[in-house]
Chains A and B, each alone.
Chain A
Amino acid sequence: MPQVSMTVNGKATSGDVEGRTLLSSYLRDHLGLTGTHVGCDTSQCGACVVHVDGEAVKACTIFALEAEGAEVATIEGQANADGSLNVIQQAFQDHHGLQCGFCTPGMVMSAAALLKDNPKPSEAEVRAYLEGNICRCTGYHNIVKAILAASGQDVGAIAAE
Chain B
Amino acid sequence: MYNFEFEQPGTIAEAAAALGSEDALALGGGQTLIPAMKQRLNAPGTLVSLSGIAEMKGVCLRDDGALSVGGGTIHATVAAQAGAHYPALAALASHIGDPAVRNRGTIGGSLANNDPAACYPSAVLGSGATVVTNTREIAADEFFQGMFTTALGEGEIIVEVRFPIPEKAHYEKFVQPASRFALTGVFVAKYADGVRVAVTGASEEGVFRWSEAEAALSGEFSAAAIEGLSVPADGMIGDLHGTPAYRASLVSTLTKRAVAAAH
Residues of A that sit less than 8 Å from B by CB? 2, 18-20, 22, 41-44, 46, 49, 55-58, 61-63, 65-66, 68, 110, 113-114, 129, 131-133
Specify which chain B residues have a CB less than 8 angstroms from the CB of A20 in the assembled complex: 1-4, 37
Pairwise interchain contact B99-A113, C-beta atoms closer than 8 A: yes
* Min CB gap A65→B, angstroms: 5
Pairwise interchain contact B2-A68, C-beta atoms closer than 8 A: no
Specify which chain B residues have a CB less than 8 angstroms from the CB of A2 in the assembled complex: 6
Which of A20, A41, A113, A114: most chain B CB closer than 10 A?
A: A20
Dominant secondary structure of chain A at its interface with chain B: mixed
Specify which chain B residues have a CB less than 8 angstroms from the CB of A18 in the assembled complex: 3
Residues of B that sit less than 8 Å from A by CB? 1-6, 8, 27, 30-31, 34-35, 37-38, 47, 49, 51, 76, 97-101, 103-104, 178, 180
Pairwise interchain contact B8-A41, C-beta atoms closer than 8 A: no
CA distance A42 to B30 in the complex (A): 12
Closest to A106 in B: B100
CA distance A55 to B103 in the complex (A): 7
Pairwise interchain contact B99-A131, C-beta atoms closer than 8 A: yes
CA distance A105 to B103 in the complex (A): 18
Partner of B38, one of A41, A44, A113: A41
Specify which chain A residues have a CB less than 8 angstroms from the CB of B104 in the assembled complex: 57-58, 61-62
Specify which chain B residues have a CB less than 8 angstroms from the CB of A58 in the assembled complex: 100-101, 104
CA distance A68 to B178 in the complex (A): 32
Specify which chain B residues have a CB less than 8 angstroms from the CB of A62 in the assembled complex: 30, 34, 104
Specify which chain A residues have a CB less than 8 angstroms from the CB of B4 in the assembled complex: 19-20
**Count of A-B residue pairs with CB < 8 Å:** 74
Specify which chain A residues have a CB less than 8 angstroms from the CB of B2 in the assembled complex: 20
Partner of A43, one of B35, B47, B49: B35
Q: A18-B3, A46-B98, A131-B99 are in contact. Are A61 and B8 (CB under 8 A)?
A: no
Specify which chain B residues have a CB less than 8 angstroms from the CB of A61 in the assembled complex: 30-31, 34-35, 101, 104
Q: List 8 A-B contacts (CB under 8 A).
A: A19-B5, A20-B2, A43-B34, A43-B101, A61-B101, A63-B34, A65-B8, A132-B97
CA distance A65 to B8 in the complex (A): 9
Pairwise interchain contact A129-B38, C-beta atoms closer than 8 A: no
* Min CB gap A50→B, angstroms: 9
* Min CB gap B48→A, angstroms: 11
CA distance A114 to B51 in the complex (A): 23
Specify which chain A residues have a CB less than 8 angstroms from the CB of B103 in the assembled complex: 55-57
Pairwise interchain contact B76-A55, C-beta atoms closer than 8 A: yes
Pairwise interchain contact B30-A66, C-beta atoms closer than 8 A: yes
Specify which chain A residues have a CB less than 8 angstroms from the CB of B8 in the assembled complex: 65-66, 68
* Min CB gap B62→A, angstroms: 27
CA distance A61 to B99 in the complex (A): 13
Pairwise interchain contact A42-B35, C-beta atoms closer than 8 A: yes
CA distance A44 to B76 in the complex (A): 18
* Min CB gap A56→B, angstroms: 5
Which of A2, A18, A131: most chain B CB closer than 10 A?
A: A131
* Min CB gap B51→A, angstroms: 6
Specify which chain A residues have a CB less than 8 angstroms from the CB of B6 in the assembled complex: 2, 19, 63, 65
CA distance A114 to B103 in the complex (A): 13
* Min CB gap A52→B, angstroms: 8
